[in-house]
């Protein structure tokens, strides 16, 4: 077999055949010999301007442990404008270096260690700032502080991704640059505005990963806007945007509108998070969405069908209680709660306990207080405060468990300590009647007055009456607790 060494493409294909035949032979000796010859032809073809040959030679050298030479070949191909070589080199540089630096002292320590290592052994990365200056995109950003530096190789990987994104419009590289700006790795600072700019460039090319990332970002921004301004200032409604709608927005378009747009687009791809968030927006009429509970239920069910447990419970809640346009279906809700409980979601334990306690939705619509107690216990063990109080109620009356008012008081105390106001009311009853501890009517009234002061639903007159209530009136009040 011979090859025309004046034809670089022929040399590359000849090297390919050598490697293929050697691998098929199964002989390590032949593979080693063929690999050496193939590398010669790959490098010759690369020197003649064939980027693919440079990449193949680089991979061969990398696998042989000659990383310095491999990166040099890729760097030369990248300088000639080869996108694939640029991306491969960036990935290699990124993967072999240190994780993100979190403190100045740590940065200095890494910098010192790198410098000592390079002085003793030579710079194995073989990539200097001068080597990667392929136009403005590869020049170190002015805002990089070398005192708080991230590692050299990651910085240069970032520059390469910038080149691939800005010069070639490569979507993968746009995503990489966006991620670097979002977490500060490779650039030294977090710059969310630049991160979003790259995500939006990728989204404008219909990159679904970018669309999903933007949906999450604008969900957070919209949520912050909602909390800051209050519900009344959020846009009342917008129509669900079509997937093909232009993404070039005027400067005054709100995060709320962008949240709904990108979330709608990502949900149409089946993104579970976006299905659930869009459902929540329609259920409550938040984040610029029209309130549409039937649509919300469909979206929750779509997310649940893909295994989202939280969406399953949200759908069950709508079915259990019913809402605008959705009739109650407690049997259907019970089935969804049961599925979620099998997967360990705490709210479903409490919901099942409620079903068994009231009989609503339970099999044959019959109460089963023992099962109610069991599920409340499961939920309480996982931190459900309301379930702690419900266990107290069951022990107070002896429903589904042993009647034990001292035990009930213990549960009330735990729930009250966790912030359950209703449990505080029950705890006041315990102090008044002498359960849990010696009778302490002063303590009971103190608890009640504190509740009155913290209860937003009470008017000033009612709050004042409860704060000054006498023992006789308080006794009467306790009878209704």
Instruction: For the beta carbon of residue 196, count every other beta carbon within 10 angstroms.
Output: 20
Domain boundaries, the chain: 1-65, 81-111+126-205
Q: What is the pLDDT of residues 466-479, one digit of tens each?
A: 666 666 666 665 55
* Count of alpha carbons within 13 angstroms of residue 46, beta-carbon side: 27
Least confident range of 116-120, 161-165, 193-197, 287-291: 116-120
Listed residue (269, 265, 267) closest to 279, CA to CA: 267
| Burial (0-12, 13-18, 19+ Cβ within 10 Å), 478 | middle
Mean predicted confidence (pLDDT) in 421-436? 77
Q: What is the pLDDT of residues 317-339, one digit of tens each?
A: 999 999 889 999 999 999 999 99
Q: How confident is the model at residue 60 (pLDDT cuts 50, 70, 90)?
A: confident
Residue 132, pLDDT above cutoff 50: no
Q: What is the pLDDT of residue 135?
A: 38
φ, ψ dihedrals at 326, nearest 5°: -125, 115
Q: What spatial distance separates the first Cα and last Cα of the chain, rounded to whole Å?
A: 98
Q: Which pTM value belongs to this model?
A: 0.63
Listed residue (322, 260, 266, 270) closest to 294, CA to CA: 322
Residue pair 404/370 in contact by the 8 Å Cβ criterion: no
CA distance 215 to 212: 5
CA distance 396 to 477: 18
CA distance 235 to 107: 45
CA distance 140 to 74: 20
Q: Scan for tokens 């099962």, then name that residue.
A: 371
Mean predicted confidence (pLDDT) in 232-256? 43
Residue 78, pLDDT above cutoff 60: yes
Bridge partners, 323 (sequence order): 326
């Amino acid at each position: 077999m011979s090859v025309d060494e004046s034809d670089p493409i022929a040399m590359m294909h000849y090297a390919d055949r050598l490697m293929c035949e050697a691998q098929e032979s199964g002989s390590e000796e032949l593979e080693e010999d063929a690999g050496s010859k193939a590398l010669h032809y790959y490098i010759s073809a690369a020197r003649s301007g064939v980027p693919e040959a440079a990449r193949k030679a680089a991979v061969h050298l990398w696998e042989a442990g000659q990383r310095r030479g491999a990166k040099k070949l890729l760097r030369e191909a990248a300088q000639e404008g080869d996108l694939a070589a640029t991306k491969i080199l960036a990935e290699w540089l990124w993967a072999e270096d240190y994780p993100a630096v979190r403190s100045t002292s740590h940065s200095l320590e890494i910098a010192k260690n790198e410098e000592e290592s390079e002085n003793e052994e030579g710079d194995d990365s073989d990539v200097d700032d001068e080597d990667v200056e392929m136009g403005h995109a590869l020049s170190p950003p002015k805002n990089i502080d070398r005192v708080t530096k991230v590692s050299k190789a990651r910085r240069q990987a970032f520059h390469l991704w910038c080149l691939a994104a800005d010069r070639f419009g490569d979507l993968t590289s746009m995503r990489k640059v966006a991620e670097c700006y979002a977490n500060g790795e490779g650039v030294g600072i977090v710059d969310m505005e630049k991160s979003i700019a790259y995500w939006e460039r990728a989204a404008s090319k219909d990159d679904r990963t970018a669309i999903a990332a933007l949906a999450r970002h604008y969900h957070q921004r919209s949520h912050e806007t909602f909390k800051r301004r209050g519900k009344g200032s959020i846009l009342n409604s917008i129509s669900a945007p079509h997937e093909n709608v232009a993404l070039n927005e005027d400067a005054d378009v709100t995060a709320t509108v962008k949240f709904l747009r990108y979330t709608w687009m990502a949900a149409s791809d089946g993104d579970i998070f976006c299905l659930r968030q869009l459902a929540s927006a329609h259920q409550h009429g938040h984040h610029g969405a029209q309130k549409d509970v039937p649509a919300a239920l469909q979206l929750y069910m779509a997310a649940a069908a893909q295994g989202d447990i939280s969406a399953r419970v949200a759908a069950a809640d709508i079915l259990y209680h019913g809402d605008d346009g959705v009739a109650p279906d407690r049997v259907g809700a019970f089935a969804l709660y049961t599925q979620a409980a099998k997967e360990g979601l705490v709210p479903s334990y409490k919901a099942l306990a409620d079903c068994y306690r009231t009989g609503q939705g339970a099999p044959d619509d019959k109460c089963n207080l023992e099962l109610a107690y069991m599920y409340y216990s499961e939920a309480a063990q996982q931190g459900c405060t309301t379930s702690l109080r419900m266990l107290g109620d069951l022990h107070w009356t002896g429903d589904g468990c042993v009647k034990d008012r001292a035990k009930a008081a213990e549960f009330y105390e735990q729930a009250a300590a966790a912030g359950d106001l209703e449990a505080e009311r029950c705890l006041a009853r315990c102090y008044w009647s002498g359960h849990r501890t010696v009778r302490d009517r002063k303590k009971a009234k103190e608890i009640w007055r504190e509740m009155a002061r913290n209860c937003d639903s009470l008017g000033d007159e009612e709050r004042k009456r409860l704060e000054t209530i006498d023992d006789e009136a308080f006794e009467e009040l306790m009878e209704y607790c």
